[in-house]
Amino acid sequence: MAFVFCTLLLTGLAVTMLPATTPQGSSSGAPRIVPQSIQLLEQLPTSWEQRYRERIPALLRGAHSRLRYDTMQILQDPSHPLVQAALLAAGALGDKQFKPGIERLMSSSSASTRALAYEIFDHFEPWAAKDLEAAFQQEDEAKMAGLISALGRRAPRSCGAWLLRGAIHPSELVRFCALTVLPKRLHGEALSCFLEVASKGELRQKECLLHLLQGREKTKSILSGVMFMLSSENASLRWQAVDLIKSQGVWRGDASPLLRLAIQSEDEMEKLHALDCIEKTQAQITMDALLPLLDSSQPCIAYRTARLLYSFGLPSAVARMLDLWSQVEKTTKGEDALLQLRSELESCLRTISGRGPRVEESSWQDWWAEQDGDVPNKPLPPSHVLQPCKALDQDSHTASSAPAPSKSLK
């Protein structure tokens, strides 16, 4: 009897061990998951992003091969309550034998399971970026929108550039899906794509970039991309860029390198818009960076620089304004523009006080009479935008509401 009892006991123990070696689909029915695996899987964090820096590696380090087997079994049962934890475990364990099971879950009826399966599978093979690239090349709007929606917020960083391109796509459906998925902070490939489009993209794409920045974090890199748009030939885009930069408050030291690059550019229009940026956003920049522009071959730029330096407290800049009169007059079209320039010159001369040698009123009247024999009887309202710049810039946009430049700039 003792022998029979021992035999039955050993047989029972052997039966309980069968799930560890019994393949799926055997006559024994659904595989049995051991409690140790359940405890490990239940402790996994819900976010795949935490795998690199938090608990997943520590929990699974040295895990018994039984966990691998149990993970494999759970991946084959889309309705299992621990299926998402098994996906996380599969990604953390990094074994390519999990790929077929993960791929099957990419068609799960659960949207959250599908999204996580897409993301985990991308850990083994960057399928998502390849599929998105193919959809964009084929201009398949339905496929683009479907892939982006399936990825959801769990989209891997390798898809960042394509998500950004989706956010500026002509299709309203694709734009809506991409803007919903695009993270609040652009980084990695998404940031690289942003800078590329900001500098070389089409006008419509740049306008979409400015739109998508609403409500998103604007880092130094993002602002450097917006700086490219200050040199656009389109007035609306330029002023949208200025307004966006201005909304970030007064620039500190990080503005100077960007503005210096623009000022040193060979593109005269870029220099002009750098001056616009300094004046309208009250960005801080040293006088020595501006002084070379006083000798610009473009009277409009030289005049704007002199006017800006005067606002900094440099009275000698007024003399440069007077020297430029004959040149500016040649590049100005329309009597109204001449009157605007006359008003600004008169205002500058009359408001010099305690900044250096005072220009006497009589000398100003004499100089003006020598020009055209017509001395204005009353001062005209000063303008915030130099109208003679229309010789270079035919934009209809004005900035009458823009604030006067700060006199505390350094």
Tens digit of pLDDT for each residue in 322-331? Answer: 665 555 555 5
Residue 8 has pLDDT above 60, yes or no: no
Domain ranges within the chain, ordered by starting residue: 35-124
Choice between 156 and 375, residue whose per-residue pLDDT is larger: 156
Q: How is residue 382 annotated by DSSP? A: P
Dihedral over alpha carbons 137, 142, 145, 150 (to 10 degrees):
-110
74 contacts 33 by C-beta, under 8 angstroms: yes
In this prediction, residues 273-287 reach a mean pLDDT of 67
Question: pTM of the predicted model, to two decimals?
Answer: 0.43
Please identify which residue in the block is written with the tokens 């389109």. Answer: 234
Q: How far lies 298's CA from each of 61, 169, 278, 308, in Å?
A: 68, 38, 18, 16
Tens digit of pLDDT for each residue in 12-38? Answer: 434 344 443 333 333 334 445 555 666
